[in-house]
Amino acid sequence: MRNVQVPLGNRSYAIKVGGGLLPRLGAECAQLQLGQRCAVITDSNVGKKFAKAALKSMAASGFQPVLITVPAGEKSKCMAVVEKCYDQLAAHRLERKSFIVALGGGVVGDLAGFVAATYLRGIPFVQVPTTLLAQVDSSVGGKTGVNLKAGKNLVGAFYQPQMVLCDLDALKTLPKREFISGLAEVFKYGIIYDAILFAQLERNLPKLLKREAETLAAVIARCCEIKADVVGQDETEGGLRAILNFGHTIGHAIENSSGYGKYLHGEAISIGQVAAAKLSHKLLGLLSGDAERIEKLFAQAGLPVKIKLNAAQRKKLFAAMKLDKKVSGGEIKFVLAEKIGKVCWGQKVPSDLIEQVLA
Ligand code: GLY
pLDDT tens column, 167-212: 999 999 999 999 999 999 999 999 999 999 999 999 999 999 999 9
Q: Which of these is catalytic: 188, 222, 225, 245?
A: 245
Q: Which of these is catalytic: 16, 37, 77, 143?
A: 143
Q: Does the active-site annotation cover 241? A: yes
What pLDDT does residue 257 have? 87
CA 233 to centroid of ligand 1, rounded, Å: 13
Binding site membership of 141 for ligand 1 (Cβ less than 6 Å)? yes
What pLDDT does residue 328 have? 65
Ligand 1 atom, smallest distance to 185 CA: 1
Q: Which residue numbers in the chain have pLDDT < 50? A: none
Q: Does the active-site annotation cover 252? A: yes
Residue nearest to atom 2 of ligand 1 (CA): 244
What pLDDT does residue 152 have? 75
What pLDDT does residue 327 have? 65
Binding site membership of 143 for ligand 1 (Cβ less than 6 Å)? yes
Q: Which of these is catalytic: 188, 241, 278, 281?
A: 241
Q: Rounded CA gap, 95 and 10, in Å?
A: 22
Q: Rounded CA gap, 189 and 223, in Å?
A: 6
Q: Whole-prediction pTM value?
A: 0.95
What pLDDT does residue 189 have? 98
Ligand 1 atom, smallest distance to 227 CA: 4
CA 138 to centroid of ligand 1, rounded, Å: 6
What pLDDT does residue 358 have? 87
Q: Which of these is catalytic: 188, 252, 326, 333?
A: 252
Q: Rounded CA gap, 135 and 215, in Å?
A: 15
Binding site membership of 244 for ligand 1 (Cβ less than 6 Å)? yes
Q: For residues 315 and 291, is the Cβ–Cβ distance under 8 A?
A: no
* pLDDT tens-digit readout, 327-355: 666 677 899 999 999 999 999 998 889 98
Domains and CATH numbers, the chain: 2-172 (3.40.50.1970), 176-358 (1.20.1090.10)
Q: Does the active-site annotation cover 121? A: yes
The residue to mutate among 77, 127, 131, 137, having the most atoms of ligand 1 within 8 angstroms of its beta carbon, is 137
What pLDDT does residue 149 have? 81
What pLDDT does residue 320 have? 85
Q: Does the active-site annotation cover 262? A: no
